[in-house]
Amino acid sequence: MKVCCLLGHPVGHSMSAVMHNAAFEELGLDYRYELWDTEPERLEEAVDRLRKPRMRGANVTIPHKVSVMELMDAVEVGASKIGAVNTIVNDGGVLTGYNTDVTGVERSLEEAGVDPGGMAAVMVGAGGAAKAIGYYLSTLVESLTIINRTKSKAEELASYLSGLPECAASVSARSLNREVLADAMVHADLLVNATSLGMKPDVDTTPVDGSLLKSGLVVVEAVYNPLKTRLVREAEEVGATAIGGLSMLVHQGAQAFELWTGLEAPTGLMFEAARRTLEGAGR
């Protein structure tokens, strides 16, 4: 049996095992997916375990997407440009890091019929998920405002994206507070939550107050547990197009599945398996 896992802390909320094990079973593969709750000081030890013959690879989530890069034997070009790894493949003890988060956000927008080209985008967060989403958006949107509690991290990401030859956007950084959000949202076409705000059990939190949302806005949520975060609910209430985090999770997971197995992922089945579990947990 081959084993894949999720490296993160915490991981108890994750739907990755649900959707991947459903996919492995559907295709009759002798694979199993496990959740490895890995504190930062134990990351190197966990990565070393991935080199064992039975291990095929891993997904990587908060807070390891950036720090895990230096533990790889090789990093795929896209992940290197993004500056974060969310998928690892083990080939005979050699670990290669990839980033499938870009695929996640790209396909989520496509499914919703949204073309971000020329939009004014606001992204809250500057961590591992924000690096991938920011990279993708910076190649398409007209402007990208990165808002983060630690302004220096937002400035670092904005400076990096602005320096890439493929960057088509005017990229800026600001501190996270209500006044800044209110100002940024006036002209925004697209809002992205690339933080963990609103994740279970803190379901009453939101990165952007509902009073700042508007009809016609596109809201992309990275959080998928609960299935509908407060941000998604309030976006729908004002007539905005709200894209929940589950779509992004499933599409990035599908690409990881294909990297591990070489087979086309049963994306619809993965989505339904995770959705049913989340709906059951919400009752």
Q: Read off the pLDDT of residues 172-182 as tens digits, 9 standing for 90 and up.
A: 999 999 999 99
Q: Are 89 and 142 in contact (CB under 8 A)?
A: no
Residues 94-135: pLDDT tens digits?
999 999 999 999 999 999 999 999 999 999 999 989 999 999
Residues 107 and 202 in one domain: yes
The CATH number that applies at residue 19 is 3.40.50.10860
Interstrand relation of 2-8 and 31-37 (parallel, antiparallel or unpaired): parallel
Residues 108 and 238 in one domain: yes
* pLDDT given for residue 204 in this prediction: 95
Q: Are 146 and 172 in contact (CB under 8 A)?
A: yes
- Domain count of the chain? 2
Q: Tell me how far apart the alpha carbons of residues 84 and 11 are, in angstroms, rounded to a whole number.
A: 18
What does the block give as tokens for 260?
């591990």
Residues 198 and 136 in one domain: yes
Domain boundaries, position 277: 2-99+247-281
Q: Do you know the residue count of the chain?
A: 283
Q: Tell me how far apart the alpha carbons of residues 141 and 119 are, in angstroms, rounded to a whole number.
A: 5
Residues 31 and 106 in one domain: no
Tokens 């939101």, located at residue: 206
Supply the DSSP symbol for 207. Answer: S
Residues 13 and 117 in one domain: no
**Closest among 155, 113, 116, 152 to 133, alpha carbons compared:** 116
| pLDDT exceeds cutoff 60 at 50 | yes
Full-model pTM? 0.93
Mean pLDDT of 186-204: 95
Mean pLDDT of 56-71: 96
Residues 56 and 142 in one domain: no
Residues 107 and 210 in one domain: yes
Per DSSP, the chain holds a count of helices (H) and strands (E) of 10, 12
Residues 38 and 135 in one domain: no
Residues 113 and 176 in one domain: yes
| Confidence bin at 280 (pLDDT 50/70/90) | confident
Residues 66-105: pLDDT tens digits?
999 999 999 999 999 999 999 999 999 999 999 999 999 9
Residues 70 and 189 in one domain: no
| pLDDT exceeds cutoff 60 at 12 | yes
Q: Tell me how far apart the alpha carbons of residues 65 and 109 are, in angstroms, rounded to a whole number.
A: 22
Residues 224-279: pLDDT tens digits?
999 999 999 999 999 999 999 999 999 999 999 999 999 999 999 999 999 999 99
Active site residues: 65
| pLDDT exceeds cutoff 60 at 283 | no
Let me know the angle formed at the C-alpha of 194 by 213 and 10, rounded to the nearest 5 degrees: 130
- Provide the β-strand partners of residue 57: 4, 89
| Confidence bin at 13 (pLDDT 50/70/90) | confident
Neighbours of 179 (CB within 10 A): 9
At 188 the three-state DSSP class reads coil
Which spans in 121-165 are helix H? 128-138, 151-162
The CATH number that applies at residue 216 is 3.40.50.720
Residues 28 and 152 in one domain: no
How far out from the chain centre does Cα 129 lie?
Answer: 5
